[in-house]
């Protein structure tokens, strides 16, 4: 069992790549409030989710570097003297990789190699936490999916995440850089991008409902997913980062409570008190990458780090809606 004491990260030096994005900013705020010395790296590529307002609550307590993780000189400098490196930067759009695979290859694979090589040369004592995706598994052979399941991803985006994970594992095993490898499943909550529907399906449905428009439910809505509130995701990241048994291991970070897309949409509309829904046909692009049902087996991370989700779907959606109602002007337009 791992306990996050108030002073666990006090005074620790922390680097977060992609720190102005959805999960990165929530992680940065938590760490700053725990007394960590937080440095942010973000290239602020348009449409990737970076938003300066995301760090508003701690803007005077974090350092921000506007640079790309592929910038070898910058990364070589920034990793020095860091106790923890949380590697969250990446190209995260499934659909983009179908038409242009090179950002996935360059950012997710080359960028990860740059970060790990910098650590090998200048800071082998840092702990690295990498956040990949449940898409690395591809279609599920059986449910729920545990970490021993085969990895047969259906797209370049997912392949690039799996490759990045393998690169980090090599640096853990060969060079002794302690690393934790996480596969995240459908994270939702405050500070996600709300400008387009290309990633972050749950949050996009929240926007459509808040705009009192009609949510499209693809197919018959019966496909199952597990949805995880972002604060629970941050807890998983932090707990595994300080768990000796987690180093060198792969963990699912999701929810063992399955929800169909139709039930998700109905719950969003109910909690929001507005919006509607209709069935729709899959587009060719979405159909090509749709892996079918997915439910995370989170037994391994529970046994190792004592982590389980705490926030139920209705509660998480209520918190999400409340945040965006208060801060809508920072997310609905550029």
Query: 């998480």: which residue's tokens?
Result: 316
d(CA 50, CA 125): 29
CATH class of 13-188+226-255+297-310: alpha beta
d(CA 120, CA 124): 5
Backbone angles phi, psi at 20, to 5 degrees: -105, 5
CB-based contacts of 106: which residues, under 8 Å, 6+ apart? 70
Residue 141's pLDDT is what? Answer: 81
Q: Above 80 in pLDDT, residue 142? A: yes
CB-based contacts of 45: which residues, under 8 Å, 6+ apart? none
Mean pLDDT of 173-194: 98
Mean pLDDT of 149-162: 94
79-97, pLDDT tens digit by residue? Answer: 999 999 999 999 877 777 7
Distances from the Cα of 236 to the Cα of 61, 107, 109, 298, 308, angstroms: 23, 24, 24, 11, 8
pTM confidence score: 0.96
d(CA 212, CA 209): 5
Q: Above 70 in pLDDT, residue 288? A: no
For 82, the 3-state DSSP assignment is coil
């Amino acid at each position: 069992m791992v306990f996050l004491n108030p002073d666990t990260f006090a005074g620790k030096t922390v680097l977060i790549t992609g720190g102005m994005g959805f999960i990165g900013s929530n992680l940065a705020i938590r760490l700053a409030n725990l007394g960590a010395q937080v440095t942010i790296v973000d290239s602020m590529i348009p449409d990737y989710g970076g938003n300066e307002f995301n760090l508003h609550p701690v803007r005077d307590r974090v350092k921000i570097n506007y640079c790309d993780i592929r910038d070898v000189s910058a990364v070589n400098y920034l990793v020095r003297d860091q106790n923890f490196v949380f590697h969250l930067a990446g190209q995260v759009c499934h659909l983009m990789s179908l038409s242009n695979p090179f950002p996935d290859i360059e950012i997710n694979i080359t960028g990860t190699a740059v970060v790990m090589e910098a650590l090998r040369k200048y800071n082998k004592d840092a702990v690295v936490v990498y956040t990949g995706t449940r898409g690395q598994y591809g279609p599920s052979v059986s449910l729920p999916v545990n970490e021993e399941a085969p990895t047969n991803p259906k797209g370049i985006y997912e392949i690039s995440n799996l490759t990045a994970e393998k690169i980090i594992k090599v640096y853990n095993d060969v060079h002794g850089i302690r690393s934790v490898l996480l596969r995240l499943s459908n994270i939702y909550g405050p500070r996600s991008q709300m400008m387009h529907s290309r990633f972050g399906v749950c949050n996009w449905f929240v926007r459509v409902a808040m705009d009192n428009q009609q949510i499209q439910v693809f197919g018959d809505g019966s496909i199952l997913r597990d949805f995880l509130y972002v604060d629970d995701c941050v807890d998983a990241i932090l707990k595994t980062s300080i768990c000796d048994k987690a180093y060198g291991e792969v963990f699912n970070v999701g929810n063992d409570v399955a929800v169909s897309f139709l039930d998700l949409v109905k719950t969003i509309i109910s909690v929001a008190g507005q919006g509607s829904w209709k069935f729709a046909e899959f587009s060719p692009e979405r159909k090509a990458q749709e892996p079918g049902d997915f439910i995370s087996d989170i037994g391994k991370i529970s046994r190792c780090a004592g982590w389980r989700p705490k926030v139920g779907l209705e509660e998480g959606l209520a918190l999400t809606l409340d945040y965006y109602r208060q801060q809508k002007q920072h997310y609905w337009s550029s």
